[in-house]
Each structure stands twice: as C-alpha cells, then as structure tokens.
C-alpha cells in the first residue's frame, strides 16, 4: 500500500511524530508550510483566532500528489480545539484526492476528539485510525507505544 504522511508543525512537536510514523511505515512524508508569520506570541494569538474562525491560509506549493496514495496520514497540532489553519486548507484543497485517511495530532491537553470529528467531516470520510499525543509526552520521548499501536493498525487496513 502506498502511504503518505502529510503534516504541519509550528514548533516541531507534530513534526517529530510525523517523522517517526514515516520511518516506521517506510513511507513518503511531506511537511506543509504556509505564508503567514506565526512566530512568537503574536503568531500564537493570530493562529488561535484564525483556527477558531475556521480560516484558510495560503500554502506554499507541495511536491507530493495525494491522489497517487492509497492512504494519506494527516498530522496537525491542536489550535483552539481545532485543526490548524494550514491543515484545514490542505484538506479543503485536496479532499477529492484522498482515498483513505488516518489522523494524528499533538496538543497541550485537549481538543483531539472534536478535531478528528471535524477532520472527518471536512474530508467527507471516516478515518481508519487516529492517534493523539500530548506535547509533554512527545518532548519526553514517551510516545513509542502509542505510535507503534497506530502504525500497526495502518499496516493491516
């Protein structure tokens, strides 16, 4: 099965998990970048507001074509109990080209279940598996078991 991991990460937490998943599944990976400056406190506040308002953003060009993959695994940090704006934009632009989807997120503490439901609705598809991790567990390298469980599920779909 051809699999792509696609993710956005503002401060590297979601990126660490995306890289781990792609390594475990030996699959392609692509990081999404947008054109907004999201650095620092100003960037944090702006991003939170935009996520609450379900705003789209302007993405930099991506290289991988999701339509050639059987499974696209989408990773987002939780922003204000929502998916982040770059991932909302990516799904909105590409939903017609997604065959199967799985989701993962990193977060301070809450908002994952609500976000996964919103992502399913936006994709118009049920996810085959979901993984939620807390930022502190990612920083402390306390995520291997959960990532393993997630990737094992994906190997047998």
| Of residues 28 and 48, the one with the C-beta less far from ligand FMN | 48
Other beta carbons within 10 angstroms of residue 35's beta carbon come to 9
Residue for token digits 């995520």? 143
Nearer to ligand FMN, 13 or 20 (CB): 13
Say whether residue 109 binds ligand FMN (CB under 6 A).
yes
CB 106 within 8 A of CB 74: no
Smallest separation (angstroms) from ligand FMN to the CB of 153: 22
Return the number of the residue (82 or 127) whose C-beta is nearest ligand FMN.
82
Q: Which residue has the tokens 């987002």?
A: 76
Letter string b/e over residues 12-31, b meaning 16 or more CB atoms within 10 A of that residue's CB:
ebbbbbbebbbebbebbbbb
CA distance 129 to 73: 9
Nearer to ligand FMN, 49 or 121 (CB): 49
| Selected binder of ligand FMN within 6, 78, 87, 129 (CB under 6 A) | 78
The stretch near ligand FMN (CB under 6 A) out of 53-61, 74-82, 92-100, 144-152 is 74-82
**Nearest distance from residue 156's CB to ligand FMN, in Å?**
28
């Amino acid at each position: 099965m051809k699999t792509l991991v696609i993710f956005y990460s503002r401060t590297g937490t979601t990126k660490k998990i995306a890289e781990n998943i792609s390594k475990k599944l030996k699959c392609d990976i692509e990081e999404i970048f947008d054109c907004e400056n999201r650095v620092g406190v100003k960037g944090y506040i702006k991003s939170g507001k935009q996520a609450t308002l379900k705003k789209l953003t302007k993405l930099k060009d991506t290289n991988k074509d999701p339509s050639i993959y059987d499974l696209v695994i989408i990773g987002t940090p939780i922003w204000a109990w929502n998916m982040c704006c770059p991932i909302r934009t990516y799904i909105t632009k590409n939903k017609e080209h997604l065959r199967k989807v799985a989701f993962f997120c990193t977060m301070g503490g809450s908002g994952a279940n609500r976000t996964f439901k919103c992502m399913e609705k936006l994709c118009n598809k049920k996810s085959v598996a979901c993984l939620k991790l807390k930022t502190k567990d990612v920083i402390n390298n306390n995520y291997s078991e959960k990532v393993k469980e997630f990737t094992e599920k994906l190997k047998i779909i």
